[in-house]
Amino acid sequence: MPRVITRKDHILRFEDFDLQPEILRALTDLGYTEPTPIQEGTMDALLRDKDMVGQAQTGSGKTAAFMLPILDRIDPDSKDLQALILCPTRELALQVADASRSFAKYLDNVNIVPVYGGAPIVEQITALNRGGQIVVGTPGRVLDLLRRGKMILSDCRMVVLDEADEMLSMGFIDDVRDILKRTPWGKQTALFSATMPDPIKKLAEEELHTPEFVKVASKEITVDTVEQRVAFAEGRDKLELLERFIQEMKPPTMIIFARTKIGTQKLADDLKRRGHKVRALHGDMGQGARDSVMIAFRGKRIPILVATDVASRGLDVSHVTHVVNYDLPDEPEVYVHRIGRTGRVGREGFAISFVANKEKPKLDAVERLLKRKIQRWGIDEPVQPLTPEQIAIAEEIEAAEESGEVDVLVVENENSQQGSSEPRVEGDAPKKRRRRGGRGRGKGNGGEGSGSGDAPVAVTAD
Ligand code: AMP
């Protein structure tokens, strides 16, 4: 039977995992007060020495989820490589290494070495020779170092495959298998992936030993912290719509996602011509150019980034306030991943998707995944007054709450933009979230609640 961890349960605190005091101290410094659901599920499995598969996006806190158990079990007296983390991109490898160093800052003699292509291998070999117990690397460079005999995996006890679906789509899966073959039998393996395409399921089946599954429902990110809207526009009209969106919302920091590298560059050029401070980020750019864009965006020197999905992977920018899907992605899971760039742990965000007629099936797929309709962004739409029926229900709720008869009721109003203004009352189930009728653009105004009120945020199963 799956074990369901909901946010309200939060059975475990970081202290309950019996982590070393030095690690707990670092977490306090970082302001991590309680584990996120993926951390709770993952740490529980890894510290019981289980293999595990985690389905979670960047932004869910997965780095600490796998890294804290690793750090807790590294032997600082041995300089041997004890843990290997494989990541699809150099950006993600550096980000994971940086985060890990911040978790390890009070641990003596624990070294974390990032290795990746596009940088001199000699320096990385020197770092490895000094003794790196934890290596975070991209598959190509790791394999290169292994083939040269500069990296030895005979004492590697823990392996993490981070963003496995991305490693697959970038063509690294054979390298990953090759690397795994060189690791000792009996090691512990954790695999993280935002989506679970068949080749990843197969990899997990073949390489992991009776893994536990930890899954964070996409609702956690999308429902709790990101206000979502759609707007309908065809072709070039999208540019005008975007201009209107920028003028209206004045987003302080925004990522605009486009599907193709060419489309990304063109959109960035168009916006630049219109006087916006904007840069593009896509795979046709050289590593140096990509790095400089990332640094400028992270440093808040450019407010608008136009990016492809792949190029923006591993871009951990916690200050993004707005996400625009200029095109909808083919996979609905990617939508969730994109909008997870905003509304990072504990913050609120706003995401809007521009949908052309031919993209409507993709919007349907997203809404099916989210199990709800996304409201239209209605700049010109008047705020609808409450219907007499809605007012009656609102009064009913208030009266019931005041009399202490029920915890909270749910009022569904998600279909209002389809012309149905009829709210649905779901009875007096405890712990239900209440939502009022009415609509508009304000935060918390419709659209955020799951409506089901029972959003499980993590599920683990043997
Ligand atoms: P990740 O998914 O690992 O890239 O983490 C996303 C962001 O959430 C990073 O900025 C982390 O520093 C932050 N974060 C991760 N875990 C926690 C936590 N338990 N409490 C607060 N912030 C966290």
Whether the predicted pLDDT of 371 surpasses 50: yes
Check which CATH number belongs to the domain holding 9 and give it.
Answer: 3.40.50.300
Instruction: Give domain status of residue 456, yes or no.
Output: no
Distance 232 CA to ligand 1 centre (A): 34
Q: Give CA–CA dist 192/204, Å, rounded.
A: 10
Distance 152 CA to ligand 1 centre (A): 31
Residue 386 vs residues 31, 327, 393, 395, 444: alpha-carbon distances, Å: 42, 34, 10, 12, 16
Q: Which pLDDT band, with edges at 50, 70 and 90, does 232 fall under?
A: very high
Residue 413 vs residues 196, 228, 436, 438, 439: alpha-carbon distances, Å: 32, 15, 8, 8, 9
Give the 3-state secondary structure of residue 13.
coil
Residue nearest to atom 13 of ligand 1 (CA): 61
Q: Among residues 219, 247, 270, which one ends one of the domains?
A: 219
52-91 confidence digits (pLDDT tens): 999 877 777 899 999 999 999 999 999 999 999 999 999 9
Q: SS3 for 46-71, per residue? A: HHCCCCEEEECCCCCCHHHHHHHHHH
4-34 confidence digits (pLDDT tens): 444 444 557 898 888 999 999 999 999 998 8
Atom nearest to 60 CA in ligand 1: 2
Instruction: Give domain status of residue 451, yes or no.
Output: no
Same domain as 321, residue 264 = yes
Whether the predicted pLDDT of 411 surpasses 70: no
Mean pLDDT, residues 125-139: 96
Q: Among residues 382, 401, 418, which one ends one of the domains?
A: 418
Q: What is the pLDDT of residue 389?
A: 54
Instruction: Give domain status of residue 293, yes or no.
Output: yes
Give the 3-state secondary structure of residue 257.
strand
Instruction: Give domain status of residue 433, yes or no.
Output: no
Residues 5, 213: contact at Cβ < 8 Å? no
Q: Provide the 10 A C-beta neighbour count for residue 107.
A: 18
- The residues with which 215 forms a beta bridge, in sequence order, are 55, 459
Mean pLDDT, residues 249-257: 91
Atom nearest to 32 CA in ligand 1: 20
Mean pLDDT, residues 90-111: 96
Q: Beta 304-307 vs 322-325: how paired, if at all?
A: unpaired
Whether the predicted pLDDT of 461 surpasses 70: no
Q: Which domain holds residue 406?
A: 224-418
Give the count of domains, the chain: 2
Same domain as 247, residue 209 = no
Instruction: Give domain status of residue 204, yes or no.
Output: yes
Residue nearest to atom 6 of ligand 1 (CA): 59
Whether the predicted pLDDT of 459 surpasses 70: no
Q: Give CA–CA dist 22/121, Å, rounded.
A: 32
Q: Among residues 219, 240, 264, which one ends one of the domains?
A: 219
174-228 confidence digits (pLDDT tens): 999 999 999 999 999 999 998 888 899 999 999 999 999 887 654 444 445 678 8
Atom nearest to 316 CA in ligand 1: 4
- Name the residue with higher pLDDT: 309 or 153: 153
Q: What is the pLDDT of residue 395?
A: 56
Same domain as 278, residue 212 = no
Same domain as 256, residue 141 = no
Residue nearest to atom 20 of ligand 1 (CA): 32
- The residues with which 281 forms a beta bridge, in sequence order, are 307
Q: Which pLDDT band, with edges at 50, 70 and 90, does 253 fall under?
A: confident
Mean pLDDT, residues 130-155: 97
Instruction: Give domain status of residue 327, yes or no.
Output: yes
Distance 25 CA to ligand 1 centre (A): 16
DSSP H/E element including 193? strand 188-193
Instruction: Give domain status of residue 8, yes or no.
Output: yes
Residue nearest to atom 19 of ligand 1 (CA): 35
Mean pLDDT, residues 85-105: 96
Same domain as 182, residue 257 = no
Q: What is the secondary structure of 171-186 as a DSSP string?
A: T-HHHHHHHHHTSPTT
Q: Provide the 10 A C-beta neighbour count for residue 153.
A: 20
Q: Residue 309 is which amino acid?
A: D
Pocket of ligand 1 (CB under 6 A): 32, 35-36, 39, 58-64, 316, 318, 344-345
Same domain as 268, residue 186 = no
Q: What percent of the chain has pLDDT over 90?
A: 50
Q: What is the pLDDT of residue 203?
A: 96
Distance 59 CA to ligand 1 centre (A): 6
Atom nearest to 95 CA in ligand 1: 4
Q: How many CA atoms lie within 13 A of 335 on its CB side?
A: 31
